C-alpha cells in the first residue's frame, strides 16, 4: 500500500487524501461535501479516501490521530492538512491556493 500511495500522490495534479473511518460521524458528513468538490473541480483534483482502520501504517506515517483528516499533496509533497469537516468552498479554495 505504501509504494502504491507514494505513486498516487506523486503527480502534478493536486491529490486530496481523506483519512476516514466507518464509525466516524463527521466522516459521513464530509463524504458528500468531497463529492461536490470533485464535481466542481473535475480533473483539477484527485480525491482519495483512506480507511484508517484498514491502513494503520499509512495513518501512522502521516500522524493521523483523529478522523476525518484531510491532506493535500502536490508532486508527492504534503502542502496542507486539516482535521475535521470543512465546507465545500473552503476545500475548493485550499486546492486552488495550493494546487
Kindly state the DSSP code that residue 91 receives in the 8-state scheme. H
Q: What's this model's pTM, rounded to 2 decimal places?
A: 0.95
Euclidean distance between CA atoms 97 and 99, whole angstroms: 6
Q: Is 90 exceeded by the pLDDT of residue 3?
A: no
CATH class of the region 11-76: alpha beta
User: pLDDT by residue (tens digit) across 6-39?
Assistant: 999 998 899 999 999 999 999 999 999 999 999 9
Is 97 assigned a catalytic role? no
Considering 24, 31, 48, 79, which one is annotated as catalytic?
24
Query: Which of 2, 42, 30 minimizes the C-alpha distance to 91?
Result: 30
Tell me whether residue 62 is one of the annotated catalytic residues.
no
**9, 15, 16, 27: which is the annotated catalytic residue?**
27
Residue 87, all three cell numbers: 465546507
Query: Which has the higher per-residue pLDDT, 42 or 1?
Result: 42
pLDDT on residue 1: 67
Contact 78, 61 (CB under 8 A): no
Amino acid at each position: 500500500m505504501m509504494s502504491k500511495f507514494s505513486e498516487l500522490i506523486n503527480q502534478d495534479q493536486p491529490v486530496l487524501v481523506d483519512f476516514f473511518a466507518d464509525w466516524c460521524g463527521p466522516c459521513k458528513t464530509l463524504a458528500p461535501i468531497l463529492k461536490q468538490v470533485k464535481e466542481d473541480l473535475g480533473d483539477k483534483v484527485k480525491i482519495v479516501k483512506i480507511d484508517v482502520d484498514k491502513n494503520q501504517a499509512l495513518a501512522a506515517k502521516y500522524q493521523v490521530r483523529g478522523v476525518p483528516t484531510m491532506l493535500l499533496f502536490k508532486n508527492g509533497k504534503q502542502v496542507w492538512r486539516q482535521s475535521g469537516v470543512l465546507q465545500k468552498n473552503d476545500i475548493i479554495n485550499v486546492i486552488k491556493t495550493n494546487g
